[in-house]
A and B are shown apart, each in its own frame.
Chain A
């Protein structure tokens, strides 16, 4: 591979933000910086589509690997993708242009800085998904905090300072333990290169502690119960584009981390901690669904539903079955689309009414019929109705869980019902019913850019609901290989003991 396509994917948004930084910041220039950002992010999306096209899903090893000397004798700049990571890169490059289209209405001050922050975080998020060295991964993973902190803090709602601090300090606290673990791995195994670590493995007696250190970081980011409390705050206060990035991509970094690092590097510890993950996931699914039922704020409701959906993801990953892990990846992608769409939907009515309280709405369907249709699609996607992408993921996860543990699967299944309850109830209260609030009557239906955003999200949700094969085919071989490797390692470890 001569052309460093992955590095270009990472660098392109950063270069774009560099250009925007040096544009003059008077009012007329705002439009042009928006177009620059949009152009860059669309170019990145096309590049990643091309990447998907030339990606060979039938081989399990990493492709497009770039390996450069970076810190001499210590860390190499090593990136590459396999069937697991490519889809997350696609998700990132797909969501970012939509966020940039949406800024027109939602961002009223410092538009230029906002675009820079979005593009920089795109760079960092792509970096997370293709890094093949633990130190590089940590760099991208933590670096993402800076733009997100600013997005929440500068353009957020009334309690933005509190939320931004909570978000930053929570995630930082989780991550410093991971840094200790990464450095310890360097001294235990002599390298932080993931591919080499897959080959040589890590001594079983260290695995539990290292796993816990990684877990502390990923659990906060996922977020898992009981460290999920930053998420509702961050979501509620963040501007629409920020919430979308947070829900669609940032949360997926942790799920990805679980698959790539927790399972891949610490098979023995992963097996050991399965009960912990299952219990926390079940609590997340059932408890946060119940919490979501009682929310009065639309964004908070969706935030809690995200916690519940991510509970499914962690459940699926730690079944260590083909269906479970593939289902989790599928669920993450689907949730990335659905939650992004739901946050855009909330943004649409929030821009018109300046409130997110469910009580203030009602009867929107007669004023905004187009809006009611797309909102319905996304509600059903979140519920997991057959024919939407949400169904495929949850179905596969439950299938995998049944193989592993019957009782856990039964309890998890109640989450699907609860999801239907809170989502449909939300839909009913916002869209149907009588118009109580006069302000609702003044609302206008979707404009052009909003329609573009929402329909371009609705299309893949339905398409992959009916025809999930393109995604599943991409991941299949890599997941298979991961599980084989996991089982082999486990067998070796048990022999030794």
Chain B
């Protein structure tokens, strides 16, 4: 196998995973070592990916595993956000007394599953990656096992996600039955004409994927799971699985299903519009910040999907730009959440932020920037994310989608403004701790500065992404 170096990252993570597990079992009090070594592992995997040129295009293992620009880019941002999520969460875990070796190991195995998903070019490989990712996440959601709501969220996530996996599997089997192959390229060749059974196969697969990125109408699990899970896991939920699932979305829509574009376009448009509108409206009444971010992420996924229903390279690129900026904003938002603590207790109600600007001007300023960016107000990064989406959407003259999307940003702006109002306009009630670990500060600074200064030269990001051409 002369191309084995292309799968080095996956192999490396698998081996370290086992090594760390053994280390954790046999060495007492090794949590910190395992935790830090996991971060190092992720760093090394990024290095291993960058080691190959960006425009590598190879199919491995009889075409079931694909390395191209899309997978390379998505893997890098997955791993990078994995590093940031781990950097932010160590203090949180210690305070909740769930700083255990299983945590980094489960995280690593979930990331491994995502990497496999991102590179998959075959139904079976894809499903394998998906399950590796999901199984680790079920445990993580229930990781704070003494807490009833955490266990509940784990169970909820498990039941609903298993259902969606079942639907996905059924869809896969239908597709296999009608195309005679599990390989994406071969499916694309065989799926040219359509019939009802095939359409329902496509629908099942899209439903399963929509479930994974919590798009309306398959979003019901998200608010409960986000709220119940430990915040560090919520941060993970809100970012990494979405990147992986979106990649798979792109892969499915533009490789095996490319020839039946008109079959799935309306489905994606519907999911996209309903997610945007529902995410904007449902978040207005929320009192819990984690629940609110769940609804807001539903809305954001709607925008990311809007880019996919266009059917052009620019559309795909705009979705990728969107998810990249989305993850930076969410990283910043969750770092802020980790900082709202006092005496080891973390505060999650919106009302707890009341008057934050009085005692914590820097933190409030960061939150201000992040929230305005989430609302998509120029000149912050969030605006550019939306700008590219609508640029792609309007190229194909999809005016209804664009108008509904932009109107729901106005509605969504309301609830972001409400948080800003509570931070800046209301009287202060609480003074929170100031001793935060450097990883947390670093993440917040990285996120805020990126968002704030993105407008100076947006081409830094867009030039890389414009190399990703699927069609």
Contact = CB atoms under 8 A, between A and B. Distances in A.
Contact of A70 (B361, B383, B457): B457
B299 to A, nearest CB: 15
Interface residue SS majority, chain B: helix
A176 interface: yes
B372 A146 contact: yes
- Interface size on B, as a range, is 20 to 34
Interface in A92-113: 110, 113
Contacts of A172: 377, 409-410, 413
Nearest to B384: A71
A145 B457 CA distance: 22
B431 to A, nearest CB: 16
B377 A169 contact: no
A25 B399 CA distance: 49
A177 to B, nearest CB: 7
A184 interface: yes
Contacts of A110: 357
A74 B414 CA distance: 30
Contact of A138 (B378, B394, B410, B414): B378
Interface string B401-433: 011001101100110010011001100000000
Contacts of A173: 407, 410
A161 interface: yes
A43 interface: no
B421 A161 contact: yes
Which of B406, B407, B458 gathers most chain A CB within 10 Å? B406
A139 B406 contact: no
Given A72-B463, A153-B421, A146 B390 contact: no
A421 interface: no
Nearest to B399: A180
A183 B458 contact: no
B147 interface: no
A160 B425 contact: yes
B55 interface: no
B377 A143 contact: yes
Given A143-B377, A177-B406, A180-B402, A70 B459 contact: yes
Nearest to B372: A146
B397 to A, nearest CB: 8
Given A70-B457, A165-B417, A180-B402, A143 B425 contact: no
A495 to B, nearest CB: 28
A72 B457 CA distance: 9
A186 interface: yes
A143 B378 contact: yes
B377 A146 contact: yes
B377 A187 contact: no
Contacts of A187: 394-395, 397
Dominant secondary structure of chain A at its interface with chain B:
helix
Contacts of B379: 139-140, 143
Contacts of A154: 424-425
Nearest to A141: B378
A297 interface: no
A352 B463 CA distance: 58
B399 A176 contact: no
A71 to B, nearest CB: 5
A159 to B, nearest CB: 11
A176 B391 CA distance: 13
B455 interface: yes
B424 A72 contact: no
A72 B462 contact: yes
A215 to B, nearest CB: 16
Nearest to A213: B403
Interface string B310-329: 00000000000000000000
Given A25-B361, A172-B410, A183 B394 contact: yes
Contacts of B458: 70-71
Contacts of A168: 413, 417
B378 A176 contact: no
Contact of A149 (B378, B391, B417): B417
Given A71-B462, A149-B417, A169-B413, A142 B406 contact: no
Nearest to A69: B459
A208 to B, nearest CB: 14
Contact of B424 (A143, A150, A184): A150
Interface string B451-468: 000010111001100000
A147 B256 CA distance: 48
Contacts of B378: 138-139, 142-143
A325 B329 CA distance: 45
A274 interface: no
A135 B388 CA distance: 12
Interface in A226-270: none
A71 B318 CA distance: 14
A180 B403 contact: yes
Interface string A406-417: 000000000000
Given A138-B378, A165-B421, A168-B417, A176 B407 contact: yes
A179 interface: yes
Given A139-B455, A150-B424, A180 B462 contact: no
A153 B419 CA distance: 13
Nearest to B458: A71
B361 to A, nearest CB: 7
Nearest to A209: B399
Interface in B249-277: none
A403 B413 CA distance: 45
B406 A169 contact: no
Interface string A154-169: 1000001100110011
A71 B457 CA distance: 7
Nearest to A142: B378
Contacts of B407: 173, 176
A180 B414 contact: no
A173 B410 CA distance: 6
Interface string B348-387: 0000000001000100000000001000011100010001
A179 B405 CA distance: 12
Contacts of A176: 406-407, 409-410
A164 B422 CA distance: 13
Nearest to A135: B387
Interface string A106-136: 0000100100000000000000000000010
Contact of A145 (B377, B403, B462): B377
B42 to A, nearest CB: 31
12 contacts: A69-B459, A139-B379, A142-B383, A146-B377, A153-B424, A169-B410, A173-B407, A176-B410, A177-B406, A183-B390, A183-B394, A184-B394
Given A143-B379, A169-B417, 5 more contacts: A74-B391, A135-B387, A154-B425, A168-B413, A176-B407
Interface of B: 357, 361, 372, 377-379, 383, 387, 390-391, 394-395, 397, 399, 402-403, 406-407, 409-410, 413-414, 417, 420-421, 424-425, 455, 457-459, 462-463
